[in-house]
Structure 1
Amino acid sequence: MDLRAPSHRASTGWSPKSSSPVDTRAPIERLPVELIHKIFFQSLEFNFPRASIHVAAALANEVIYSWLIRLAFSSNNPSSSSGILIRPFVPMSYFSIGMKERTDLQTEILRCRWCTISLMRKCQREYVEHVLRQKCRDLVMSDADRAQLDNLDDYWQNIDPFDNATHGKRGKGDLVLSARHPQSDVNLKVSIWFNFGAVQIREPSPVFQETDVFRLPACSLTDPCRMPDRLLRTPWTEEKLELLTLLSNEAYIDDDGNFERSKAVVRQLIVDRDFATFQRLLSLHIRVKIYSYPLRWPVRSNNFRVAARYAKSDKDPFLTLLFSEHRDEIPTSDKSIRALLAKYEQS
């Protein structure tokens, strides 16, 4: 859903019987901007902005983009239905959109060039702060914990942008504060993950469970959106890699266990001799459409063969990384790769 203006331009003509210009815009183009916004969000018709330069101009701004990200990527955990996903934080009823429609919306948004890591980070912070305001304002907290909750600037400024979580799991939180429910007097823990844009308010437990977590971005476990091609090819900028890392546990890269897209990315990095990006991507855990959990970026037999073909020396960094960290992915039946491994170990 690219909200850029279409290539053609609407014209303003001149009446032959008058010296005044004639407005040749279509009736919908002459609507107030607020009505154009309402039509767009009620229909979520991706081609609407492409129909006219006037409509595109009315929709091409950061407020609209932020609303779209909130609408598409806010989690629908059980507690989100109470005081979180409401106007004006979202422009329409969040729960009126079905799972399939939301997945399609996410996929379209990620394809757009305006969907950048800086905008996603801005939306994350606004979302987390909105959740904390709504859900923590009445909790009983110590003065020190309340002061921390009211001033999170240092945490936002010092997040690890390339944290992919250990084995794809987020852990107990970057910041965990104690609280108490004002009516029931039940003890609670407020956990915040800044890099992942996540908040959880739960009762203390020796066993951590990722239940009822507020998150942005959040994609469906059973019907995730698709990682866009633009994030899986050159040029490999820091901004692109950060956005890819953030989305790697949410949007799927591969459709199935053949791992066609992830395998092609690894192969191209070897051919391009881009070891820095190669190393970074292989450290990620990623989604596959048919699995409901993240797995380590897959390496296939062909990737080993390509690395051997392009190796500059016996200590080629690509082969070194593959054989040292991914040897368990070599099929036991693949004698040629096993022979290559034996030769590498003897060198």
Structure 2
Amino acid sequence: MLTPIWVRGRRRKRPAEESFNDENPRPIPSGPKGGRPLMSRQAKLDSSQAKTDKRARLLVAKPTKQRKKLSNLESLPVELIEKIFLYSLNVNFARCSLPLIAAISSERIYRALILLAFWDDTSTTAAGTRASETAISRILRPLDYSPLRDADRRQLQDTILRCKWCTVQRLLAQLPDLMNLCIQRHWFGAGIVMAPEQEDALNRFLAQEQDIRTFEGTDPTSTTTTDDDDDDDDDDNPTHYTLTINPLVSITITHHETDQTTTHPILGVLLIPPNLLQGGPLDSEEEGFTSPAHTNYLETLRIASGFNRTALTKPTVTLSRPALQRGIHTALVENNRKALTTLLKIDEYHFRAENTDIDPASAAMIPYTLPAEHFRTAVRVARRDPVFFQILLRASAESVPADDPEITEWAMQQRDAFGAWLLDLMLHLPEQIEAARTNPAEQAVFYLGRANAQRGLARRYLREVLGVEELGSWLEESTFDVSGLWKIPRID
């Protein structure tokens, strides 16, 4: 019996029902031993045509993926797109497509937006001279300038300060141009004429070549009549003015004949966004006031807002006090003295200026206070460093909770002059609160950071705790000198 041999490979199995007849003749083998049948003439023709068609299809290049066709707006030159955006001042314009974002994301657009948003040009009623208008147009290029209303400028500031590209460095970099704009509008635009040497000195100052900050000028169109007892003739003399520049902060114009001074801030701030007050992200994704740039930003906005004066004036800057209180809590938790001091100065000045009226009785109805939780937080996060508690006291000593056991225990643990003074303050707090309510400027322990020496508690604090004779207002003190950025290079 033969043993079957199994061969690996594919075995073709002919269907059992396949049959051959006259219509389907059996293929003729190609040789005597069989093999692949020969192709008929028609089969060869069909195969040749199929191969030709396949070769033709392969030789034809495959169509590449078509790029998205740009719209008519996106196809415009970059200069025209910039003009359209600066005319509309709509941030949603940049969010429409990537080509539009690329077209307007440039330093000169950022610069134009900052200058337009932070230049206060609403106080000018008369048109300036042709030379000043030409200089203003040159500074604001590529912007076709037209003054904005306060409402529009406030909205633009809010939009810009929320953008990631509006960093501290970009804002501070535009202060020299903002200062030049103020000088062109309020000095040259008012028709004041300078002597050639004075104008040359001012140009050298603006070019940071010479540190002369006081300049003289006259207004020929406005004259002052002086009477002479010897004759009846009147001599018409031009009025004299003095320009005093506090670099990057403000300019002051003094009218000599009337002894009237007018100060124009360089940075016209109308609002401080909540994210800056509560310690939100600024130049990075980090939360809080961990970046020194954030604190410097706040101090710059505080000075520009006019919160560095001892005289209270109705504020034009809007801010969120709940966001400010959250920022104070964050600064306490982070043990950030600079941020805490700046936020307390902003909070006290804005609240007192907003709620102080001519009538002392109405002012006494809304006393300035801090949340008691701030003092408890200062005790918990800095038990061995009373400085943070003392900073809160300088803002509002009457806000200390009188019967708080945690603060009482902490004051007893101090075992020094400050601990004893704090216990005495908490003991006499009810009558002190009532005295400060009637006349905060003179009867509060501290007012705008100044210690009222006529109060016994304030005198004890100065003598026993600080060891000084007096403590002035802290509003004029600054943790960041903006004018120090204006440096005149030395010529050896």
TM-score (norm 2): 0.51
Measure, in 2, the Cα distance between the counterparts of 1:156 and 1:342. Answer: 55
Find the counterpart in structure 1 of residue 420 from structure 2.
346
Number of residues of Structure 1 aligned to a counterpart in Structure 2: 297
**Paired residues of 1:103 and 1:225 also in contact (CA < 8 A):** yes
Q: Deviation of residue 261 (structure 1)?
A: 1.5
Aligned 8 A contact 2:254 2:261 in 1:
no
Structure 1 residue corresponding to 2:378, chosen from 307, 319, 323: 307
SS at match of 2:273: coil
State yes or no: 1:177 paired with 2:215.
yes
In structure 2, the CA distance between the partners of 1:208 and 1:217, relative to structure 1 (3 Å rule), is same
Offset at 1:50? Answer: 1.1
Are positions 1:336 and 2:388 aligned together?
no
Using the alignment, how far apart are the partners of 1:189 and 1:308 within structure 2? 51
TM-score, structure 1 length as denominator?
Answer: 0.70
Cα drift, residue 303 of structure 1:
1.1
- CA distance, structure 1, for counterparts of residue 375 and residue 146 of structure 2: 46
Segments of 4+ moved more than 3 angstroms: 16-23, 83-90, 130-138, 145-148, 153-158, 205-210, 249-255, 279-288, 290-293, 297-300, 337-345
Q: Does 1:44 align with 2:89?
A: yes
Tell me the C-alpha RMSD between the 2 structures.
3.9
Matched, 1:190 2:259: no
Change (3 A) 1:42 1:342: same
Corresponding residue for 2:271? 225
Report the equivalent of 1:149: 202
In structure 2, what is the equivalent of residue 171 of structure 1? Answer: none
Report the Cα offset of residue 123 of structure 1: 1.8
| Alignment-derived partner of residue 270 in structure 1 | 332
TM superposition shift of 1:268: 1.4
Kept in 2: contact 1:188–1:202 (CA 8 A): yes
CA–CA distance in structure 2, aligned partners of residues 62 and 287 of structure 1: 34
Letter in 2 for 1:236: T
Deviates more, 1:180-189 or 1:19-28: 19-28
| Matched residue type, 2:205 | L
Residue deviations 1:131-168 (CA, integer Å, cap 9, x gap): 4356449623483x44542222697999xxxxxxxxxx
Counterpart for residue 199 of structure 1:
251
Provide the secondary structure at the position in 1 that maps to 2:95.
Answer: helix
Helix, strand or coil for the counterpart of 2:161?
helix
User: Is the 1:104–1:225 Cα contact (8 Å) retained in structure 2?
Assistant: no
- What amino acid is the match of 2:155? D
The aligned counterpart of 2:124 is 78
Pair member with larger Rg? 2
1:23–1:194 Cα change, 3 Å: same
Tell me what 2:99 maps to.
54
Distance 1:267 1:235 in 2: 11
Match of 2:71 in 1: 26
Distance 2:153 2:254 in 1: 27
**Distance of 2:74 and 2:146 partners within structure 1:** 27
Distance 2:171 2:182 in 1: 16
**Residues 88 and 148 (structure 1), Cα distance of their counterparts in 2 relative to 1, 3 Å cut:** closer
Superposed displacement of residue 65, structure 1 = 0.9
Gaps in structure 1 of 5+ consecutive residues: 1-15, 159-173
> CA 1:140–1:308 in structure 2 vs 1: closer, same or farther (change >3 Å)?
same
Counterpart amino acid of 1:199? I
- Separation in 1 of the partners of 2:355 and 2:124? 19
Matched, 1:116 2:116: no
Please state if 1:246 is matched with 2:297: no
Residues 44 and 154 of structure 1, relative CA distance in 2, 3 Å threshold: closer
Per chain length, whose mean CA-contact separation is higher, i.e. which structure has more relative contact order (CA < 8 Å, sep 6+)?
A: 1
Conservation of the 8 A alpha-carbon contact between 2:274 and 2:324? no
**1:196-231: CA deviation from partner (whole Å, max 9, x where unpaired):** 2x3343413556444xx3x44213xxxx33425146
User: Which residue number corresponds to residue 392 of structure 2?
Assistant: 322
Q: Partner residue of 2:109?
A: 64
CA contact (8 A) 1:270 1:318 kept: yes
Pick which of 108-117 and 20-29 moved more.
20-29
